[in-house]
Amino acid sequence: MSQRFDFIETPLTGLIKIERKPIQDNRGFFSRFFCANEFETIGFTQPIAQMNHTFTRKKGAVRGMHFQNPPYSETKIVTCIKGKVFDVAVDIRKNSLTFLQWYAQILSADNQTSLYIPDGFAHGFQSLTENCELFYIHSSFYQPDAENALNVLDTELCIDWPLEITELSGRDSNYSMIGKDFVGIDVQ
């Protein structure tokens, strides 16, 4: 039993909702984002290679569905530290029983929830409020040559974005739709 986290399985094996358990008093709260000992219980044993911070100005904007190709695939722990987002992970693991299925979780500064996204998932989100900030913990270094993504509008995925998409980068909108030759990625 974790002291600072509740780890909750999702319908996609390995993808875990994390509920942080802050310590609160009249001054405010203390909340832990990561503890190697506690995260080892859910299989996260890699070193932390990078920590990243994103800011998304506009409500309805979408970023995603990003991943890195092996051998540079990565595990991510995603937390919203300002605003509220619809956070999405898509299973792209070759031969997975839930291949191309997606799961979404509302992450917000208020709900103290993170998403643990293991190797073999594409990730993206839609901002549900103005001025959203996300904090990411990554198990691998960013490799530009390994960068890849699924198109957020791909009808094969049928992601049910809760708002009209108000903004999408040129790069994200130009990713190809999934073809018959896409069999997923091998993960260790």
The values of phi and psi at residue 118, to 5°, are: -75, 170
Max CA separation in the chain (angstroms): 57
**Strand spans (E) along 92-168:** 102-108, 113-117, 121-127, 132-138, 147-149, 167-168
DSSP, collapsed to helix, strand or coil, labels residue 171 as helix
Question: Which is it for strands 84-91 and 28-30: parallel, antiparallel or unpaired?
Answer: unpaired
**Helices in 15-72 by DSSP H: which ranges?**
36-39
Instruction: Give catalytic residue positions.
Output: 66, 136
